[in-house]
Structures are given as structure tokens and as C-alpha cells.
Amino acid sequence: MRGALLQPYTEIGDIADTNLNWSANVDFQQNLIGSTTLTPSVSWSGELRRADTLALAQDFVAAPTRVSFGAALRSDIYGFLPGFGPWERLRHKVSPSLSYSYSPEVQPTDLQKEVFGSAVINPRNVLTLGLNQTFEARVRSDEPEEGDSTSVGLGMEPQRTEDGFLIPEQAETQLLLGIQTSALAYDFVADSTGRVVDGLTTASLNNTIRSDFLRGLTISMRHDLFEDPVSTPDGLTDKKFAPHLEGMNFNYSFSNRSSIFRWLGFGGGEVGDDDPSQEPGQDPFAGPGGSALGQSGGAADQESIVPTQTGRSLVGGRESGPVGAWQLNLGYSLIRPRESSPGQASQSLAVNFTLKPTQAWDMSWRTSYDLENGGFNDHIIRLTRDIHRWQANFDFLQTANGNWTFRFEVSLTDNRDLKFDYQQRSIDRGTTQRLPF
């Protein structure tokens, strides 16, 4: 008779970890000189936690209430430079912001120490610095010559108020360069180790660049400020300041109403500012619940491997517009982790295109190309038809490994929950090739 080894069987159920956070804040903004403002504030915060993995937190445990005192100082500093070419004068605007927050140490119970640790107990003494800057130019105005009759009596007289006061004309300005930098935080409590680098708690620095010369173009860069921390024999963490370009995104959006196309005579409408519809809006590929096709919760199958950090901004939502209107978004994303990091480098291109071929039809196309692997990640096409107060969507999706999905949906525009939808998928198991164009 053979012996049998019986092993205990343990059924693993759901594990829950719940955190409830609350906060209250009182502040008052005081105007100082010009655009300089000082905002003192007082805030209260607390936390409740319940975790199945902690024997002491099977029921909700409250953290000690923290009181924080702070103040924020914001201002605008201007520098003027002589103009050249078509610009009469240049202006450099620097907008610094400085905020300070102090929270004294609390006296927790032994239970609170076990559940929350030292993160919500230690004192906080944080100084935060932010900086935004712009370079603007005032365009030269063509002043009428003395005695020029064309400027008199033909609608060229200066505008005046009802009381007869002259209204000064607003000169046209252009944004040459705008740089937005994320804030840096310095904790004086963390600096108690004696090393200045330990007090800098900001792990990464983000910069966003834009200009009126290429409206719709946005360049963003992300720098990792510190190398991966290394534990020292005395139990401390050695953090070395070594900035590294971790990621970069280029996004450019233009349409048939962009200035460059109107100047060439290809766009409709009057010459003026760029179409405001270039601003990011609703995702035209959004499925039920707001999730996009090809992502979790959308109509695509799970074989889609669309990168989640492509930095692409989807085209604006469906809006009423003239027949023939179109919009194109181009995006480039670069991810460069450190050599010591487990992540992999990646480069990708993203294209989003929308077109209104007729008054009742809209077409949207999205795709992304992986430069590292040399292939397309996906193709998504959506056709939308307006039927009075109803809307019909025809979606076609092909993933990186060749699987495709067709989805049809008719919904009431007044109530999207009232709908009929149909979905069909094709799964080619074992196919791992990238998409040809």
C-alpha cells in the first residue's frame, strides 16, 4: 500500500486594504505690490485605515489629526528688452512661487505607530519652489502718416467711452517661448542627516515648452534627479544627485483652420488665431464608461499591447463643424530609464486623425508605431453617423498580433445608457508578428 502525503489546503479570499483621508483648509490671500500675493493658511488632516493583512487593523484605525501652518508667496517679475524686426519690444516674465509648510510632531498611541508607521507621525518642515517664465513680443503697429485722409472718417477713428475718454488700442502680442517647470520641495526634517541632498524630496523635474510660432506644438521633458538609492552598512540610504533625461514627449496638433494652411490658401475661414478645437478634448474612441478602444474596458480584446506611456494626446471630441473639417495630432514619446533600472527604453509615434466628410458622418483614425520593435501597435477606425437624436458608431480595431474587433453601437444622445451594441472578435492564437502597414 502506497503512502499518501496530505497537504493542508487554504482557501484564499479577497484581501482588502482601505484608506480614508480627510482634510480641511482655511487660507486668506493678501495682495501686496502689483501682482505679488501672500496667502497664509492653516489645514487639518487625518486618515483612517483598515487592512486584512494587519492583525491590528481588522477594523478602522484612526491616525492622529495633524495641524499644518503655511504661507505661499507668488509674484511676477518683468524684464524689458529692445525689439527688432517685426517686434517693437520684448518682455521676459518670470513667475516664481515660494510656499512653506510646517506641521509639528504628533503624539501617537502604540497602535497608531504599528498601523501607520513614522510617515504620518514625524514633523514636517517643507519649502517648495516653483518657477514659470515666458518671453513675449509686442508686434509693431502701422501708424497712419500725418494728413492721411484714409484714417479719418472711414471707421479708423480711435474708440471712446460714453464719457468721451479715449480707449487705448491693445497691441498684438506673441508668445515667443513659454517654459513651465514643476515645483521642487525641500524637507528640512529629512535634511537632519547632515546631507543637503537628503532634504530634496522631489524625485523628478518636469519642463513643458510651447510657443505661438507653432501653435499646437508642446514639448515636455522629464528628468530623474537621483540615481537608484543604495543602502549603506549603517542602515542609511545613500542618495546621489545625478540628473538623467528619463522621458521626452513631442505633441503637435493642427487642423484645416491652422494659420499655416490658411496662409497657403488651403483652409477655410478667416485668417486669425488657430482653431481652439486643437486643445485636448474628449477621446473620440471612448467606449462605454469613458475607456478608450484598445484599452481596458473598451471594445478591444486583451491582446492589444498599446503602450500606456506614449505621451500621445487624443484628438478632440466630436463637435459640430463644416463639411471637410479635419484635425491631425502627431505625437512622439521617448522613455530612457537608467541602466540600473529594470525598465526598458522605448520610442513610439502616435497619429490621431479626424475628418468630417459629410454633414452627418464623422471619421476618426488612430494608430501607434513602435520604433524599437519596428512595427505598428494597433489601428483603430471609428465611423460615426448622426440619426436625428440617435448616434451610430462603427468601430474597427486591429491589434499588434493580428487580432481584429468589429463593434457596432446605436445610442440615444440624450441618454447614452439607452443603447444597442454588437461586437465580434477574431483571435489568431500563436500569432506574435507586428502589424505591417
> Percent of the chain, pLDDT > 70?
70
In a domain, 341, yes or no: yes
Asked if the model's pLDDT at residue 138 lies above 70, the reply is yes
Q: Following CA atoms 234, 239, 240, 245 in sequence, which dihedral angle do they give, to the nearest 10 degrees?
A: 150
Convert the pLDDT of each residue in 66-104 to its tens digit.
Answer: 899 999 999 999 999 888 888 888 999 999 999 999 999
Across the range 357-378, mean pLDDT stands at: 90
pLDDT band with cut points at 50, 70 and 90 for residue 6: very low
Residues 390 and 412 sit within 8 Å (Cβ to Cβ): yes
At residue 320 the predicted structure's pLDDT band, cuts being 50, 70 and 90, is low
* pLDDT number for residue 83: 84
What is the phi-psi region of residue 34: left when phi exceeds 0, alpha when psi lies from -120 to 50, beta otherwise?
left
Angle at 146 between CA 148 and CA 82, to 5 degrees: 120
Higher per-residue pLDDT: 412 or 299: 412
Task: Tell me, yes or no, whether 273 lies in a domain.
Answer: yes
pLDDT for residue 344 is more than 80: yes
Question: For 117-131, 202-216, 322-336, 377-391, which range has the lowest pLDDT when averaged over its residues?
Answer: 117-131
The structural domain count of the chain equals 1
Give the pLDDT of residue 288: 43
Residue 311 lies in a domain: yes
On whether the CB atoms of residues 359 and 353 are closer than 8 A, the answer is: no
Measure the CA–CA gap between 92 and 96, rounded to whole angstroms: 13
Residue 248: strand pairing partners: 221, 334
Of all residues in the chain, the percent with pLDDT exceeding 90 is 31
C-alpha angle with apex 71: 69 to 74, nearest 5 degrees? Answer: 165
Distances (CA, A) of 64 to 100, 117, 166, 180, 225: 22, 12, 62, 37, 33
124-139 and 87-103 as β-strands: parallel, antiparallel, unpaired?
antiparallel
**Residue 93 falls within a domain, yes or no?**
no
Give residue 342's pLDDT band: very low, low, confident or very high (50, 70, 90). confident
- Residue 284: is its pLDDT beyond 80? no
Other beta carbons within 10 angstroms of residue 63's beta carbon come to 21
**Predicted local distance difference test score (pLDDT) of residue 207:** 95
Query: Taking 80 as the threshold, does the pLDDT of residue 285 lie above it?
Result: no
Report the pLDDT averaged over residues 156-169.
Answer: 62
Boundaries of domain holding 342: 250-437
Residues 211-239, mean pLDDT to the nearest whole number: 77
For residue 309, pLDDT beyond 60? no
Identify the pLDDT of residue 1: 39
pLDDT tens, residue by residue, 415-430:
888 888 888 888 665 4
Residue 436 lies in a domain: yes
Tens digits of per-residue pLDDT, 103-131? 998 888 877 777 777 766 778 899 999 99
Residue partners of 15: CB distance under 8 A and separation at least 6:
52, 53
Alpha helices in 242-388 (DSSP H): 259-263
Cβ-contact 435, 341 below 8 angstroms: no
Helix (H, G, I), strand (E, B) or coil at 110: helix
Please indicate, yes or no, if residue 344 is contained in any of the structural domains. yes
Query: Rounded to two decimals, what is the model's pTM?
Result: 0.64
- Read off the pLDDT of residues 229-280 as tens digits, 9 standing for 90 and up: 665 555 556 778 889 999 999 998 888 877 666 666 665 544 444 444 444 4
Assess if residue 397 is contained within a domain: yes
Confidence grade of residue 140 (pLDDT, cut at 50, 70, 90): confident
On whether residue 435 sits in a domain, the answer given is: yes
Nearest to 253 by CA among 282, 273, 275: 275
